[in-house]
Amino acid sequence: MPATKFTPSIISRPIYGGLTPHGAVPALMLASGPGGEALLDLIAADPAVLPHATVIYIPEGSDLGPRLEAQGPASYVEAASYASILPRFRKLLAEALMNTRLYLAGTEGLIGQATAEALAAGMLLEAIEAEHRGSLARRMQCVHCKGITEDVTTDPFTCSHCGLSLFVRDHYSRRYAAFQGVCVDAETPGEVPPKQEIKA
């Protein structure tokens, strides 16, 4: 699957520049699903990134794991989910040095959460490379109950925490790594417009 291109209409959404190799410096690589292909492309473009790389891969049903491991990074870990690998990712960030680069590839939710984590650890944005691959699904924050609903593909959708019908706003928060969802039927309770697929 090639890199996903967004329409540039949403100004608050980050632009993911793609994975540019930074050579033989320590690297943390974190990818989910089709994002594994972006890592394979990165390694093919500059094999020097590999000997000092820690690769974390969240397959999400994809079968790229064995190919990534066969590349021979310094260490390779497969994880069931971002939440399950977060403690380890945090430890790796805490031990990282000033020349460590972070390569992220996969869904927007993964990129956003991992970026926020790395910034909190003191990493600079310019040390982070990101490439969006895979679904256009959005990670949504309900502005009412503050709960996060992952993988939202329709507008409106139902908040998985408080059950409100939420309108999908084109308003991205880098702090929460999520778009904002606002109650769609607050003025006219029960009058919820028909669901549409999110296409951007």
Partner 1 sequence: MSAQMLRVTEIEALSPLVKRFRFEHPGGKKLPLFSGGAHVVVEMPDGDLLRRNAYSLISDPQDGSGYEIAVRREDGGRGGSRFMHANVSQGDTLRISTPLNLFALDARARKHVLIAGGIGITPIIAQMRQLLRMQDRFEIHYAARSRSEAAGLRLLPRLPHIHSHISDEGDRMDLGAILDRQPIGTHVYTCGPEGLITAVAQCAARLGWPRGSLHSEVFLAPPPGRTFEVTLAKSGRTVTVGPHQSLLEALEEAEVDIDWSCRGGACGRCETDVVSCHGRIEHNDHWLSEDEHSSQTKIMPCVSRFRGRELIIDR
φ, ψ of residue 35 to 5 degrees: the values are -60, -25
Are 104 and 142 in contact, with CB atoms under 8 Å apart? no
Under the criterion CB under 8 A, does residue 20 sit at the interface with partner 1? Answer: no
For residue 91, the minimal CB distance to partner 1 (Å) is 13
Under the criterion CB under 8 A, does residue 19 sit at the interface with partner 1? Answer: no
Are 53 and 46 in contact, with CB atoms under 8 Å apart? no
Stretch of residues binding partner 1 (CB under 8 A), selected from 40-48, 79-87, 89-97, 192-200: 89-97
Stretch of residues binding partner 1 (CB under 8 A), selected from 20-28, 157-165, 176-184, 186-194: 20-28
Residues 116 to 135 in contact with partner 1, rule: CB under 8 A: 119, 121-127
In sequence order, the 6+-apart residues with CB closer than 8 A to the CB of 75 are 54, 55
The order of strands in the sheet holding 27-32 is 75-78, 53-58, 27-32, 101-106, 128-132
* 23 vs 193, beta carbon nearer partner 1: 23
φ, ψ of residue 13 to 5 degrees: the values are -75, 130
For residue 94, the minimal CB distance to partner 1 (Å) is 8
Which residue in the block uniquely carries the two structure tokens 């680069």?
Answer: 101
For residue 98, the minimal CB distance to partner 1 (Å) is 5
Residues 66 to 85 in contact with partner 1, rule: CB under 8 A: none
Site for partner 1, rule CB under 8 A? 22-23, 25, 93, 96-101, 119, 121-127
